């Protein structure tokens, strides 16, 4: 668990220029606190203590303003910046290096019983207020613009914006990818 916490602190320091020390991040960043508490709730959930896990998650929401279902799978090294209003649903999966800004929702679109929340691949960035709704994948290194509503898969290294979200930049046109654009 301490390895995960170290990775979360390192992610905060890497992505937030205002982070002056690891101690400051540990003591004052609600995203780090929410992830740490989520890991405890997830452990309880995996061990059949679902009510206790939900109670930990509810207390975390009240303390941090970040709501994460105890069954959600979140890797170490994720950074939730500011965090207020972030919601991560039950079947969501979030890989290492992902950055989530305030007001992001990783949610479902109905009462399906299977995978109904998104999988967010390594290094993706989801900006303020974006809503990613459904059981699809946001590709590695993808960027989702502020306020976007994403209802379908986002290819790797692609930028999407708008309501509904549409692609505005593809990997082949990214200036650093060697493309022609």
Report helix angle 30-46 to 50-64, nearest 10: 170
Q: What is the pLDDT of residue 111?
A: 78
Q: What is the pLDDT of residue 87?
A: 97
> Which of the listed ranges 4-8, 35-39, 108-112 does the model predict with the highest average pLDDT?
35-39
Task: Give DSSP secondary structure letters for 24-91.
Answer: HHHHH-HHHHHHHHHHHHHHHHHTT-HHHHHHHHHHHHHHHS-EE-TT-EE-TT-EESS-TT-EE-TT
At 112-121, the pLDDT tens digits run: 788 999 999 9
At 84-103, the pLDDT tens digits run: 999 999 999 999 999 999 99
Two structure tokens written together for 104: 């992001």
pTM: 0.88
At 13-62, the pLDDT tens digits run: 999 989 899 999 999 999 999 999 999 999 999 999 999 999 999 999 99
Nearest to 123 by CA among 85, 156, 169, 168: 156
Residue 132, beta-bridge partner list: 106, 150
Q: What is the pLDDT of residue 180?
A: 43
φ/ψ bin of 113: left (φ > 0), alpha (ψ from -120 to 50), beta (otherwise): alpha
What is the rounded CA–CA span in Å between residue 20 and residue 123? 22
Confidence grade of residue 1 (pLDDT, cut at 50, 70, 90): low
Does 66 or 180 have the greater pLDDT score? Answer: 66
Which domains are delineated in the chain?
2-173 (2.160.10.10)
Element (H, E) at 153: none
**Mean pLDDT of all residues in 157-176:** 83
**Mean pLDDT of all residues in 147-172:** 93
């Amino acid at each position: 668990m301490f390895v995960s916490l170290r990775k979360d602190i390192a992610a905060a320091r890497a992505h937030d220029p205002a982070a002056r020390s690891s101690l400051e991040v540990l003591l004052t960043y609600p995203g780090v606190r929410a992830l740490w508490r989520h890991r405890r709730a997830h452990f309880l959930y995996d061990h059949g203590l679902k009510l206790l896990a939900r109670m930990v998650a509810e207390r975390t929401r009240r303390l941090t303003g970040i709501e994460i279902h105890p069954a959600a799978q979140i890797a170490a090294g994720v950074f939730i910046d500011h965090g207020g209003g972030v919601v991560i649903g039950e079947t969501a999966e979030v890989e290492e290096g992902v950055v989530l800004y305030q007001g992001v929702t990783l949610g479902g679109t109905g009462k399906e019983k299977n995978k109904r929340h998104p999988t967010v691949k390594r290094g993706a960035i989801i900006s303020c207020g974006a809503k990613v709704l459904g059981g699809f994948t946001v590709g590695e290194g993808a960027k989702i613009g502020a306020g976007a509503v994403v209802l379908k898969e986002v290819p790797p290294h692609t930028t999407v914006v708008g309501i509904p979200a549409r692609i505005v930049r593809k990997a082949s046109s990214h200036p650093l990818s060697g493309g022609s654009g």
